[in-house]
């Protein structure tokens, strides 16, 4: 696939996720999805060149959402994975497996600094931790010197 074709697929993917985020989530999620899609588009083997774009769009939202607790009712915004899959017309198992590929590709985990929402970054339990001689310690347990 040529670079122009990859850019066209990337643009389509951005439009699909943008519409979803505008209707169901917020601008912050769109920015994170856009960043992830563009990062995927720079890979040597661009994953979204194969398969349906709706599945990849749902997988991008799922990957970003899962590390930001999107599917947990106690967080805002909230959406169920079922509702997300209904919107995209996808199956949960397929989307989950593609999201796992994305998360593994970029080593995404809870509180990943690059792809966390502002609220997640502020409330990260890692904000008050530091590594000393290979041990992770809370800042308030360290002596002042």
Q: What angle separates helix 92-105 from helix 81-88, to the nearest 10 degrees?
A: 100
pLDDT at 125 over 70: no
pLDDT at 106 over 90: yes
Give the predicted TM-score (pTM) of the model. 0.85
The pLDDT, as a whole number, for residue 130 is 77
Mean pLDDT of the chain: 90
Ranges 12-26, 30-44, 76-90, 111-125: which has the least confidence = 111-125
The answer to whether 20 and 61 have CB atoms below 8 angstroms apart is yes
Residues in the chain, overall count: 145
- Sorted by where each starts, the structural domains of the chain and their CATH numbers stand as 3-141 (1.10.472)
């Amino acid at each position: 696939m040529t670079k122009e074709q990859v850019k066209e697929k990337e643009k389509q993917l951005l439009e699909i996720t943008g519409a979803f985020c505008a209707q169901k989530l917020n601008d912050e999620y769109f920015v994170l999805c856009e960043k992830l899609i563009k990062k995927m588009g720079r890979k040597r083997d661009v994953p979204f060149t194969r398969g349906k774009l709706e599945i990849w769009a749902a997988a991008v939202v799922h990957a970003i959402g899962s590390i930001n607790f999107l599917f947990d009712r106690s967080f805002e915004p909230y959406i169920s994975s079922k509702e997300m899959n209904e919107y995209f017309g996808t199956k949960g198992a397929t989307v989950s497996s593609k999201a796992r590929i994305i998360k593994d590709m970029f080593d995404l985990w809870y509180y990943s600094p690059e792809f966390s929402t502002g609220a997640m970054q502020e409330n990260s339990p890692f904000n008050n931790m530091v590594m000393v001689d290979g041990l992770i310690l809370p800042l308030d347990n360290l002596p002042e010197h």
